[in-house]
Structure 1
Amino acid sequence: MITRRSFLGTAGALVVAVSAPVPAGATTGGGGPLAPTVFVRVDRRGTIVATVPKPDTGQGVRTLAAVLVAEELAVGVADVTLEQAPGDTATYGPQGIANSTSARQLAQPLRTASATARCLLVAAAAAHWDVPAEECAARDGRVTHPRHRPLPYRDLVADAAALDPATVPVTLTPPQDWRLIGRTRAGRADARDIVTGRAHYGIDTRPEGGLVAVVARPPWIGALVESVEDTGALAVPGVVAVVRLDPPGAGQGGVAVVAGSTAAALRGRETLRVTWRGGTPDADSREWLADLAAALPAAPPGDLQRVYRLPLLAHAPMEPMNATAHVTADGLRVWAPHQDPGGLATQLARQLGLPEASVLVNATLAGGAFGRRIEPDPVAEAIACSRATGRPVTVRWTRVDDTRHDSYRPMSVHRLSATLDAEGVPVGRHHEVVTWPLTVLPVFNNPAIVRASGDHFPYTVPGEVSVLLRESPLRTGFWRSVYAGQFGYAEECFLSEIAGRGGHDQVDLRRRLLPADSRLRRVLDVAAARANWTRGVDAPLTRGVACHLDYGSAIAVVVTADPTRRRVVGVHAAVDVGVAVHPSGVRAQVEGGIMDAVSTVLGAQVTVRAGAVVESTFGDYAWARITDCPDIDVAIVPSTAPIGGLGELAYPPAAAAIASALAAGGDPVTGMPYGTPVG
C-alpha cells in the first residue's frame, strides 16, 4: 500500500540530513571522530555532525544549529548533518524551549564547540606542514596554506583528535568575517523533508509491535470516571484492551481504548459506556468573566479609563497532542514531541521511582507547540496504556480532544486609567488586572510572578500595576507570550485610544514617550517609514501601531485594516533581535506571531457552556485561513545587541495594532476578539 507520506517521501532528499537520536560524547584520539564537545563531531570521512540538544517544534532550532556550526567550521549549511539529542540534561544542559530562549542558550556553546574543532583541524594541518597555524585557514571543508596543497578535513581528523584541546588557542570567527550568520538567505534546513513527507513527527511514531490508543475524555470540566462498560469495545476487531486512566498519575483522566490501529481504537471508543461523576457540569465562561470583572477594586482617579475583557484561548497546534511509551522490565522508553525532553526524563524517573539512566526520552519533531507541549499528560496516558498491555503504545488525540481538553490561556479583565496633561499626553497610569494563575505551574499562583511575566510597559509614564488572582476553574497553561500577550494588548490599545482622544498621531505619541536611545524608538521609526506612515491611507482603510520590548528584543508593528470588512490588509513589522542568526527564520517567527494575532483579534476564542468547551475543530475555533492572510513585511533592524528571543515577541504588539486599526474606524477596543462578545 502506498500512503501519502510514503509517496511524498520519494520526492526528494534532505538539504541537511537529520538522523535518529544518538547521544554524542567528547572524544580525542584512539582513531575515533574529532569531538571536542557533545555538540559537534567530525568523523573520519569528514562528515560534520551537530547534535541539537533542544527540540524543534517548528521554530527552526535545528536550522539555527546548522548555521552556527557551519559558520565556525567554514562549511556550507548543507554540509552539516543534524542529530537530535535524547532527553539528558546531565550531558546536554537545559533542553527546554520556553520563554524564547533557544537561540540565546545555544549560540555560544555551539559556536565554541565548532570553533574548537576548526582550530584543532588547523593545528593538525600546521603540524603536518610544519608551518605556523596563523598562516593556515579553514575554508569549504579544507585547511589551506599558501605554499601547500589544501588538506580536506577527513585527512586531518585523526591527528586533530589526538591533540589536547587545552593546548590549542580557540578563536571565534569575528562578525566582519561571517559568511552565514545574519547573512544567509537559506530556508529551513529540514524544509524538503517536511514538504515531502519524510519528516518524522511524534504522531508518526510506531515502534515494532506497537499499539494505538484513543481516550474517551470527560464530557464536562473536572469529571471523573465512575464506571465503565467495555464489553462492546472489547468485541471490536483489533481492540486489545480498555484502560481506565485516573488523574493525576494518568493525565487528565478518562478511559483509553487500545488497539492495533487508530480506526479500531476509535470504533472501540464509540461503543464504550462510561458514567461520570464530580466536576462542574454547570460551568459557563460568561459567568467566569463576570466574576473576574466584579473582582476589580475601586477605580482610581483618572482622566480616561477603559476596561478590557480577554477570553480563553486554545493552542491548536497543527499536530494534535500525542506520545508513545514502552514500559519494560528494564525501564521506560518514550517518543514524544515535548518541549523539554531532559526535564521530562527527570520528572518521569522521579515519579515512577526509576533510575534516571533507565528512562530514555526521544524528542521528535512537533507540529507546533506554543507552550502546550511543555505538559506531560499525553505521555502519562501512553505510559499507563503500555503498563496495562506490556507493549509500546501510541496515544493519539483527535482534533476535538485537542481543542476541548487543552490547558487554556487564562481569561483576564484589565482596567487601565490615565492621568493626562493639558496637551492630552499621559503623565500617570494605573493598570489593574484580575486573572487566573497557570495551573500547570504552581509558582504562577503568585501575583508578583504574573506581573513580572506580563508587565513590560516601556514608556516614560510613571504608574502602578496591580494583579489580583482568582482560583482557576479549569486547566490553564502557557500560551504564546504567556501574560505579556494580555498586558501588552490592553496597554497598547489604551495608548492608541489616548492618542486619538488627544488628537495625537499614534506614532508621534509613542516616540514622545520613549527614551531617545530606546531600541523601541528605532524599530518604531523603521516600521513607520516602511509603512509610509506620514502619507496616511485613504478611507475606508485605517491604521494602528504597537510596540513591545521583551526577551532581550524589540519590535514595532504597523497595521493597515479595512474596518468595513473586518479585514487586515497589510502589516509592517520592524524587529531588533540583536544578532539575527538566521534572517529567514526571524521573518517566519514574526509572521507566525502576526497570524496568531489576526486569528485571535478577528474571532478565535474558547467558550464554555454547560460545563464543556463548545469549540471542537477549526470549523468553530475560528483560526485564520489563507484568505485572511495580509501582506506582511518584516524588516530586521541591524543591531550590535546580544542575541535576543523571538518566538513570542510579535504576538502582543501585532494583536494590539490590529485591534487599534479596526477601532480607528469605529468603536473603541473593549476586549478580544474585537467587536465580538467575549466569553
Structure 2
Amino acid sequence: MLAVSVPLPALAAGEWEPNVLLRLDSAGGITLTLPRPETGQGVRTVAAMLAAEELAVDVADLRFVQAPGDTQRYGPQSIGGSRSVQQMTVPVRTAAATARCLLVAAAARRWGVPVETCHARDGAVHHRRHGRLRYADLVDDAAAIDPATIEVTLIPRPRWRVLGGRGGRIDARDIVTGRARYGIDVRVPDRRVAAVLRPPWIGARLDTVDDSAVTGVEAVVRLDPATGVQGGVAVIATSTAAALRGRAALRATWTGGTPNADSRAWLDQLAAAVPAPEPFAHTATYRLPLLAHAPMEPMNATAHVRPDGATLWMPTQDPGGHRDRVAAFLGVDRAAVRVEPTLSGGAFGRRFETDFVMEAVVCSRAVGKPVQVVWTRDDDTRHDSYRPMSVHRLSAEVDGSGLPVRRAHDVATWPLSIFPAMPPDLVRLIGDQFPYTVPGDVRIALLPAPLRTGFWRAVYAGQFVYAEECFLGELARRARADQVDFRLRLLGESRLRPVLAAAGERLRPRRGRVRAAACALDYGSACAIVVEADRTGTPTRVVAAVDVGTTLHPSGLRAQVEGCVLDAVSTVFGAQVTVRDGAVVESSFRDYAWARIDQAPDIEVLAVDSGAPIGGLGELAYPPAAAALATAWSMARGEPVTGMPVNRPVG
C-alpha cells in the first residue's frame, strides 16, 4: 500500500515515534515518512530499502507517507544534482537503526539478558533461549528508553538482505494500474482549473486583453511577471475543457520582447564569442542547441490560498524551497504554508522552477478558491526553461602515437536564469569533469541569455563532456586507434579504468560494426559507455558500466542509466529546440523528436562496485552516452561530429 501526502496524526496509546521518519504501533504497523519527493527516479524505493534493511523487515512490511515540504523538520528535501540518495542514505539508515537498537535493548531488558545476545530479524527480536518478541510487543518498552543510553550500529554489508537485492519499485503496481496519483490528478473540494494564455514571442508583455467573447468561465486574471510567473492571462473555470475554451476565445495584444529572435543567430553570436584558441595542430568546433525538458507530465500545480496561509499540491523537486518562496510572496510565516508533494511524471531540473507554482498561487488568491493550473504539452514545450546553447572549440597537441599531450577547451555559453550573474568559474566547476591525464586550460565566455534557461539533466556537464569526449573520439579516429584502448592509455590510475575495462570487455569489436566509447567521472561516481553501431551509424547495442560506490538498488540503477541512454539517443539523433521569429518552433513530441521505441538500442548495464562512498547516478550516464553515440555515428559514416544533433543542422 502506498499512501501519498497523508499527514500523520498525533501519537496515540501504543504508538512510538523514535524519530521524524518512523512510527511504530502495538498493532504491528511500521510507517516510514519518505523525506524526498518522487519524480520517477526511484528515490522512494531506495528510502524504503534503507529503512527495511536497518529495521530487519521486508519492504512489504512498511507503510509509506510522503513528507510535506518542511526542511526544518526533515532536513534537505530537494532532488537535483544527483544528490538524493547520497544525502539520504545515512539519515534514513541511522533513523531505522536507532529504532532497531532500541527495540533490541527493550527485549534484552525484559528478558534480563545482555543486549549482544539478542538480534533482530523479520520484525522481531530473537534470543536463543527466550525465543522471540515482536516489535509490536516492544513498542511501549522501547519508547521508555533514552536513545542516548544505547549504542546504534548499522547492519554491515555482508549481512544485507534487502539492499543490493533485485526488488522492484514500491510504487510500480500503482503506476502501471493507474492507481498512482500525480500532480495533474489532484482533486480537492471546490477546485477550479486555470488555463493560461502565455506570451506569443520571447519576452513579450501583455498590452491589452479583450475577454468579451469568453463565456462559461468564472474569472479572467492578468498575470504580472513581477509575481514570479511568465506573464499572460489566466482563464479560470470549473473544468479543464471550459478553461481551454475560454483561453481560445481571448483576444490579446502584446508588446516588447524580441519578436525577431532566431536561434541560428544566437549560435553565431556564441561562436564569435568563443575565446581565441591555442595554436595547437588539432582542432574541432561543436555547436549545441537549446533543449526542452519534455517530462511526460506537463507542468501543473494546485493551490488553495486562504487569508491565513495556503496549501499546495504539486509535483516538485524542491518542496521546502517552494514553501519558503510562497510564504514570502504571501507575507505569512512558513508555518502557515503547507506543500504536499505528489508523484511527478518526470522532472529533469524543470520542477525546481517556480513559475507554474506561482500561477496557481496568484489565481487562487484572485478567486478565493483552490485553483489547479494545467499546462498543455504545447505550453510545456514552448514556455520551458531551456538548456543553454553553447559553442565549444577544442584543440590539442598529440604525440607520435596520436595521444593528446596538451589540450585547450574554449567555450561560449549562457548562464542559468536563476543565476544571471553566474561566474565562469562556476560553469567550469559544474561542467568540466575531464578525467584524463592530459594537462590543459578551459576558458569560458558567458553572454546574457536571450530567453529563460534552467537546469537540464547533467546541466553544463552534458555539454562539456559531450564536446570533450567527441573530440577524443575524433583524435582516436585520426590515429586509427581503438576507442576503448585509446582512453585506457590516458586514464592512469583513475577510478574509471576498471569501469571502462569492464564495458569494453563486455562489448568487444565485431566485424561489420564500429565501437565507440566515452567516460564520465562526476557526482562521486564513474561511468563508461561503449556503443556498437552498424555501418549507417545506427546504434545497435550499448553497454554501460557504472560505479556508484555501492549499488543499493540494482534495478533502479539500471532504469536510471537506461533513461540517460535514451535521452542521449533522442538528442544526438534529432531532438532540439529552435527559435524563429521570436517564438519556439517545436510544440510537442510530434516535432520535438524524442526517441521512439524502434530507435532504442539493446542496453546492458553493469554495476562495478568499488566500495567508495555512495555516489550520484541520475544524470551520470547522459553525457558519455551522448558522446559515444555521436562518435559511433562519426566512425561509421566517416564524417566528423560538429555538434548535436549529428544528423541535421543545429539551431
| Range class of TM-score, shorter chain | over 0.9
Structure 1 residue 24 displacement after superposition: 8.4
Give CA deviations for 1:329-379 in whole Å, capped at 9, x if unaligned: 111111111101011111221222111110111111100000000001111
Matched residue SS, 2:317: coil
User: Could you tell me which of 82, 102, 115 is aligned with 1:133?
Assistant: 115
Q: What is the rounded CA distance, in whole Å, between the counterparts of 2:329 and 2:427 in structure 1?
A: 28
- What's 1:452 paired with? 429
Counterpart mapping for 1:250-261 below 5 A:
250-261=228-239
Between the aligned partners of 2:116 and 2:570, the Cα distance in structure 1 is 55
- Please give the per-residue CA displacement for 1:486-538, whole angstroms capped at 9, x wherever unaligned: 0000000100111111122211111111123x21011000000111x2xx222
> Where in structure 2 are there 5+ consecutive unaligned residues?
none
Give 1:477 shift: 0.2
Question: How far apart, CA to CA, are the structure 1 residues paired with 2:535 and 2:192?
Answer: 51
What SS class does the counterpart of residue 227 from structure 2 fall into? Answer: coil
Report the secondary structure of 2:636's partner residue. Answer: coil
> For 1:652, which of 623, 645, 651 is the aligned residue?
623
Aligned counterpart, 2:510:
537
**What is the alpha-carbon root mean square deviation over aligned residues?**
1.3
1:20 matched residue in structure 2: 5
Cα displacement (A) at 1:82: 1.3
| 8 Å Cα contact 1:24-1:51 kept in structure 2 | no
Indicate the residue corresponding to 1:605 in structure 2: 576
For each residue in 1:621-665, what CA deviation from the matched residue of structure 2 results, as whole angstroms up to 9, or x when unmatched?
000111111100000012210100000000000000000000001
Q: Does the residue aligned with 2:101 lie in a helix, a strand or coil?
A: helix
Aligned AA for 2:338? L
The 5-angstrom pairing of residues 250-649 of structure 1 reads 250-442=228-420, 445-516=422-493, 518-531=494-507, 533=508, 536-539=509-512, 541-564=513-536, 566-649=537-620
String of CA shifts for 1:122-165, please: whole Å, max 9, x gaps. 11111111111111111111111111231111111111111111
Code of the residue aligned with 2:70 in structure 1: it is: D
The question of whether the paired residues in 2 share the 8 Å contact of 1:489 and 1:655 is answered with yes
- SS state at 1:569 partner: strand
Contact 1:458 1:548 in 2 (8 A): yes
Partner AA of 2:191 in structure 1: G
Tell whether 2:647 aligns with 1:675. Answer: yes
Alignment correspondent of 2:206:
225
Whether 1:155 aligns to 2:137 is yes
Structure-2 separation of matches of 1:611 and 1:501: 41
Given that residues 202 and 582 in structure 2 are in contact (C-alpha distance below 8 angstroms), is that contact kept between their aligned partners in structure 1?
Answer: yes
Paired with 1:289 and 1:442, the residues of 2 have a C-alpha distance of 19
Distance 2:585 2:565 in 1: 25
- DSSP-derived class of the 2:633 partner: helix
Letter in 2 for 1:537: R
Residue 619 of structure 2 aligns to which amino acid in structure 1? E
* Whole-Å separation in 1 of the counterparts to 2:223 and 2:489: 58
Question: What amino acid does structure 2 have at the position aligned with 1:198?
Answer: R
Contact kept in structure 1, 2:277 and 2:410, CA below 8 Å: no
- Matched-pair contact (CA < 8 Å) for 1:250–1:384: no
Q: 1:84 aligns with which of 42, 66, 72?
A: 66
Q: CA deviation at 1:300?
A: 1.5
Question: Displacement of 1:66 after TM fit?
Answer: 0.6
Alignment-mate amino acid for residue 3 of structure 2: V
**Residues 144-194 of structure 1 deviation map (CA, whole Å, 9 limit, x = unaligned):** 111123111111111111111111211110111111111x11111100011
Return the letter of the residue paired with 2:146.
D
Paired residues of 1:324 and 1:392 also in contact (CA < 8 A): yes
Contact kept, 8 Å, 1:40 with 1:110, in 2: the verdict is no
Amino acid in structure 1 at the alignment position of 2:625:
A
Once the two structures are TM-superposed, the CA of residue 23 in structure 1 deviates from its matched residue by 5.5
The aligned amino acid for 2:401 is E
Q: In 1, distance between residues paired with 2:281 and 2:453?
A: 35
Aligned to 1:68: 50
Deviation at residue 35 of structure 1 after TM alignment: 1.9
Amino acid at match of 2:347: A
**Is residue 73–residue 118 contact of structure 1 (8 Å, CA) maintained in 2?**
yes
Displacement of 1:442 in angstroms is: 3.5
**1: distance between equivalents of 2:130 and 2:110?**
10
Stretches of structure 1 lacking an aligned partner (at least 5 in a row): 1-13
Q: Partner of 1:18: helix, strand, or coil? A: coil
Q: Separation in 1 of the partners of 2:645 and 2:335?
A: 48
Determine helix, strand or coil for the equivalent of 1:640. Answer: coil
Relative to the length of structure 1, the TM-score reads: 0.94
- Residue 6 of structure 1 is matched in structure 2 by none
Aligned with residue 183 of structure 2, among 197, 202, 207: 202
Q: Deviation of residue 262 (structure 1)? A: 0.4
Displacement of 1:398 in angstroms is 0.1
Partner secondary structure for residue 55 of structure 1: coil
Q: Is the 8 A contact 2:194 2:243 kept in 1?
A: yes
